[in-house]
Structure formats: C-alpha cells, structure tokens
A and B are shown apart, each in its own frame.
Chain A
Amino acid sequence: MQGIDWAYMAELAPIILRYVPLTLTMASIAMVCALVLSVLLAIIRIQRVPVVDWAVGLFISFFRGTPLLVQLFLFYYGLPRIFASLTQIDGITAAIIGLTLHFSAYMAESIRGAILGVDRSQWEAAESLGMTRARMLRRIILPQAARIAAPTLLNYFIDMIKSTSLAFTLGVTEMMGAAQKEAAGSFLYLEAFLVVALMYWIIVEALSFVQRILERRMQRAFQR
C-alpha cells in the first residue's frame, strides 16, 4: 500500500483554507435567509391562514421530499428559463437560494414545534392584556420559542455548512472545487480530499463546542 503524502497535505492545507471564508459566507447568508423565511412559514402554519397555509404545506413537502442536489440543479438550470432576464445565474447564488429554501422547509417545522412548545398560559396572559397578535409573537412567544429551537437550529447550520460542498457540482470553486483542481495536477486525490474532510471536521467541531456553551447558557436564561 502506498503511504499518504503528508508533506503534500501540509502544502495543500493553506490553499484550501483560503476557501473556508466562501463556505462560511454561503452558509451564513443562507442560514439568515432561511431563519427569516422559516419563522414566516411557521407562523403561517400556526395561524392557519387559508390557502396560503396549503401552499406552505406544499412548499415544505416538496423541499423535504426531494434531494438537495436535485433542487440545486433545478435552480441553476431552471431559474434562467423562468426569468428570461437571467441568462445565467452564478453557482454561488443558485447554491444560496437552494440551501435557503431546502433548509427553511426543515427549520419551519422545528420552529413551529418550538412555538407550539411555549406554554399556552404565555399566549393567554398576552391576550388578556389586549396585545396584538404580532406583538405577542415578537415579544413573548418567539423569544421563548427561540430558546427551545436553538440547539436544533444550530444542527441545521452545521448541516448547511457541509451541504455547501454541493455547490461544487454547480461549478463553484469552494473547498471541494479547489481540492479537485489541485488534485487534477498532482493526482494525489486521496490527500486532497482528506484535507477537505479534516477542514470540515474541524469547523464542525468548533461549532459543536459553541453549541454546547450556548445550550448551557440557554438553560440558565430567565432563571435569575
């Protein structure tokens, strides 16, 4: 068996590292958009807005029912057809849109569960004061739901970071793409992808660490 070329890996690491910001940027933008969208979707589901609720149900069902990779291709190749002005959509944009929609479908269900997990007495106390629905959600319900949903949402963020690697299939040179290009010259594919794997692993472990701290903080919130 041929040994692993550690020196080559050490050489490659700083090159791949340069693409980490792109990965984190794509994931962060998609996460922020997905958060906003999923809170809206969750509220629509809970308020059972007629017709819209049905459409939201269909949306969630579709984005949970089909593979992310297929969705990304649909956006990349499909959007320019629907919107003629977009002769070409760049891979990064398509990936962000795809990740946003895909993850918001999952996150909407978690957030809905978290909102329903807030004790009924909290709604009633707010209602009894004569608060409007919007204010009630903003001031009382969502802050408490956020605490319930936070660990799950962080899991989705971690998942999203890893999923940005699929942007590679849309021609985006992110960590995977960069590794592929380097390996094409050196033929050391194993080493190149091993570097990528290690880097994802480190990022995810760092986030898990933050997650644990946050969870402990969340448990202590509103206790003193």
Chain B
Amino acid sequence: MNADCEISVTGLRKSFGPLTVLNGIDLRLKAGERVAIIGPSGTGKSTLLRCMNYLDRPEAGVIRIGDLTVDAATVTRQQILALRRRTSFVFQHYALFANKTARENITEGLIGVRGIPLAEANRRADRILADIGLSDKAGSYPAALSGGQQQRVGIGRAMAMESDLMLFDEPTSALDPEWVGEVLDLIRRVADGRQTMLIVTHEMQFAREIADRIVFMEGGRIVEQGPPAQIFDNPRDERTRAFLRRVG
C-alpha cells in the first residue's frame, strides 16, 4: 500500500449494447480515504467498481492510481494487469476459488501474482486467517464454510494483496442476516486501518459510520457527494432526498 497514492477516475463511460450504464463518471479518492457509494438498483454502482478493476471494459475514461494511468482509448493488456494488481475486489457472492482451501484462497494471489515464496505466503495467510478469526478453518474448502465465513475469507484474500484500493461490491447483501454483523465488523476494522476503499452498500447506517464521504449515484451519473452528515441529513438534490426517503 502506497501511503500517498491518489486515485482518480475521469470521464468513465460504459454501455451494454444500447444501454448506457455509466454516463461520464468523475471521482477522486485521496490516500486512506473511505468512500461509500449509494443509489438505486440498476444505477451502475457495480459496473463502476467493475470498470475500475477492468472486469468490465469501459468505452472511455481514464483511471489513475498513483503513477499508473489507464486510458480506455489506449489500454494494453499489461496495463490491465497492473491496474488489477493495484486494486482488489470483494465480491457480493464471495467468489472464493472453489478448488482451494481458505488458506490457499489467500495465498493464491500472493504466490501467483506477487511472486512471494510459498513459505512466506503461508505465513502471511496464517496471520490474516488469525486476523479474520478463521485460523481453525485454514484447511476448509469454501463449500464447507458459512456465508459469513466465506465473505471473511474473500475480504482476507483482498487484504493480503495490500493493494492501493479495495473495492467492495455490496459485501453483505448476499448474506443471511445472522452473518452480516461479523462481516461488517471486519470491514470496519479494514476501514480503521485507513485502507483506501470504495464500497457499494445498502447498509446506510454502516456507510455513515465508516465512510469519509458518501457518493450518491443515479442513472449512471454521480448526483451528489459529500461528508455523511451532509448527504444523510441535508441532501441538496431532490433525487438523493427521494432515495433516502425510500430506503429509510
């Protein structure tokens, strides 16, 4: 993690066929900043996160992370790899490697992407497993873990990469209610470590609590952004107000 790694997105556009999903997104994150994205369903929140990791390929726009610049117009395969190696992704449905144990899920990226030797990767994985409270599940396959445990491994896998930016796409919305708390607790601890993060969430209270800034999106654009108190208590835009009334 690079302590003064500024992140910016400029003019990001993405469409699926005739459907324009991201209609010119501009966003900046300071190092250590924790930003939560809220907004109605189908508004492009997931697509924005996926584009920042190039899981979806934007048609236009520039993503900068520190000294790395990735322009959709001229992007190369090497740049995509470099971008992905500086960001990590926590998926809504965990997406753990089904053929790898909890520990191997964490070491896979360390060994295969960061080139860390097996013994050292295992040491780091064990430290992370202890940190996420799953030391006793190190040798379990994802199928044998609860949803909450799987998501904690998913977060552990992302943490291990020590990336400049962690992206969370609704990390608790696929979970049974009983597991939501433990996952939120873990994310809160990651946030407390001043990890730069961008989190899409429907947990408004949680967003208010951990985020330095709230971004409200609708219709493929950023409508309004600001400190949690401002967005939640004094939203300026009528669309933000309408959304907040609906959810809560």
Interface of A toward B, CB cutoff 8 Å: 119, 121-122, 124-132, 135, 139-140, 143-144, 147, 221-224
Contacts and interface: CB of A to CB of B under 8 A. Distances in A.
Given A128-B55, A128-B91, A222-B143, 8 more contacts: A121-B95, A125-B89, A125-B96, A125-B97, A130-B82, A135-B112, A140-B97, A143-B99
B93 interface: yes
A70 B143 CA distance: 48
Interface string B101-134: 0000000110011000000000000000000000
Nearest to A142: B99
Interface in B43-90: 53-55, 81-85, 87-89
A122 B112 contact: no
A151 B114 CA distance: 36
Contacts of A127: 53-55, 84
Q: Give 6 closest A-B pairs by Cβ, nearest first.
A: A130-B84, A130-B85, A128-B89, A121-B95, A129-B109, A125-B95
Contacts of A222: 98-99, 141-143
Contact of A224 (B53, B54, B89, B141): B141
A147 B141 CA distance: 15
Contacts of A126: 97
Contacts of B108: 129, 139-140
Interface residues of B, number: 30
B140 A224 contact: yes
B160 to A, nearest CB: 9
Contact of B161 (A121, A129, A143): A129
B98 A122 contact: yes
A132 B111 CA distance: 12
13 contacts: A121-B95, A124-B55, A124-B91, A124-B95, A126-B97, A127-B53, A127-B54, A128-B84, A128-B87, A129-B161, A130-B83, A130-B85, A222-B141
Nearest to A128: B89
B88 A128 contact: yes
Contact of A223 (B84, B85, B141): B141
B242 interface: no
A130 B84 CA distance: 5
Contact of A130 (B81, B140, B141, B143): B81
A129 B113 contact: yes
B144 interface: yes
Contacts of A129: 84-85, 88, 108-109, 112-113, 157, 161
